[in-house]
Structure 1
Amino acid sequence: MGERVSGVPTFEAWTAARVPALLRFAVLVTGSRAEAEDAVQAALERAYVRWDRVARTEDPDAYVRRMIANAHVSLWRRGRRREVPVAEVRGSEADPTGAASDPMEASDRADVVRRSLAGLSRAQRAAVVLRFYEERDDAEIAALLGCAEATVRSHVHRALVAMRKELGDD
């Protein structure tokens, strides 16, 4: 990774190494590749302007991931909703479960989890990803989402109930 004289990585070097992981995180938080790309771009634009300060934090990755989560939270707080076109509508009369027709895809547990995450509300999805992917506690999640810790626990509980039902893990 390229470094300045001070030992701080350059923004370009850092982003070249971290963008794929940040994008994976953003897809989990947003549930949409397009929204994830928008959130990562917005976060990187803000990080670039403040790079000297961001690079000197204890964990620049966590700092930028928080920026991504905040960008996503801002989007759903404003009530802005986008329709996302899909190539195929799942859950038709012929296949009410919406199960994938390809046996390999059906066996891919990660894909099933991503799809069940996409079915959650934005707040529930953000709370679950921050809890289990980012390993944050209730207080940190509440601060990020701008809500009470009890609300975080409620979001996580309801999300897990819905996901277990969707995954058949009753």
Structure 2
Amino acid sequence: MASRSDSLIRLAYVLTNDQHAAEDLLQTALMKTAGHWRRIRGNPEAYVRKVMYHEQVGRWRSPRWGRERVVHAPPEQLVEDRTREVEDRLTLRQALRALPVRKRAVLVLRYYEDLPESEVAKIMGCSVGTVRSQTHQAVARLRELVGEHLILEA
């Protein structure tokens, strides 16, 4: 299923037209499939797809699906302005794209995937010292591109 997850999430998105609902639909289908794993013969992906179809049709038929709840007055809530956070994230993403491929890969493996230096070295086919120097150079370049404050917050 791991190798087919991209295909399955695309199907879920087409069925739901919403990324979060698609993730929920796929997760529900995989949980239901796992419960019947011993009885599944042939193509397990086809079984998961069928579960997704049935689950989504059930959601469409549910009387609660898609209905809004009418209230007398909207709840009073202060919503935090997160514009700066989004701008910072976009700036950092753009700076990451500006890095050379190997430096970007080192940062992704070290900090996003949280892999130890030895594992990164094995994946990239280089020494641990090279991973350390590439990491140092990549972080220094990011600091030049976006500033110290953004690197420390990320």
State TM-score, norm by structure 1: 0.41
Greater RCO, CA 8 A, separation 6+? 1
State TM-score, norm by structure 2: 0.45
Structure whose residues are more often helix by fraction: 2
Larger Rg: 2
